[in-house]
């Protein structure tokens, strides 16, 4: 894994950070921030696999790893937001549900051999990072940053 064979020689392929964590993205709640960093790491792993041409059935474990992390993270985040009486929790849960559905659709497309690299790229960069992490999640940051 993470190796390229050229004329019998083996060289390591280093992972690149497609998206790097920016401290401005911290919510003010340490555990949520840690999980967001982990999410970005998994997204970068997925994107690196795509860059290496791995978007076949063997791509499934990486995609399933992302889904598992997202489900656990969403559950935790929703519990914290409920504990802090986040006023827009129902809308936030809906965003979470929609993302999980999109991820499960990607798994289905991969299993059927119909997944295109652009599908995963759009999901990771647009849906997860831009629309959710950088737009939707920032709406609750005031709950925690004002207390620090």
Q: What is the DSSP string of 12-76?
A: EPPP--SS---GGG--S-HHHHHHHHHHHHHHHHHHHHHHTT--SGGGHHHHHHHHHHHHHHHHH
pTM score, whole prediction: 0.82
Q: What is the pLDDT of residue 8?
A: 41
Range from 9-23, 37-51, 101-115 carrying the lowest mean pLDDT: 9-23
**Distance (Å, whole) CA 38 – CA 44:** 10
Contact present, 53 and 2 (Cβ < 8 Å): no
Q: What is the mean pLDDT of residues 65-79?
A: 95
Average pLDDT, the chain: 84
pLDDT greater at residue 35 or residue 63: 35
Question: Ranked by mean pLDDT, which of 25-29, 43-47, 49-53 comes out on top?
Answer: 25-29
């Amino acid at each position: 894994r993470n190796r390229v064979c050229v004329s019998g020689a083996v060289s390591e392929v280093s992972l690149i950070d497609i998206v790097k964590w920016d401290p401005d993205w911290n919510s003010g709640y340490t555990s949520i921030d840690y999980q967001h960093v982990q999410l970005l790491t998994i997204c970068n792993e997925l994107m690196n696999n795509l860059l290496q041409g791995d978007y076949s059935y063997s791509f499934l474990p990486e995609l399933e790893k992302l889904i598992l992390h997202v489900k656990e993270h969403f559950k935790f985040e929703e519990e914290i937001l409920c504990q802090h009486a986040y006023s827009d929790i129902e809308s936030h849960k809906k965003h979470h549900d929609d993302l999980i559905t999109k991820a499960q659709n990607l798994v289905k497309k991969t299993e059927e051999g119909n997944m295109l690299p652009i599908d995963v790229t759009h999901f990771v960069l647009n849906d997860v990072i831009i629309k959710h992490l950088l737009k939707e999640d920032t709406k609750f940051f005031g709950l925690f940053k004002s207390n620090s």
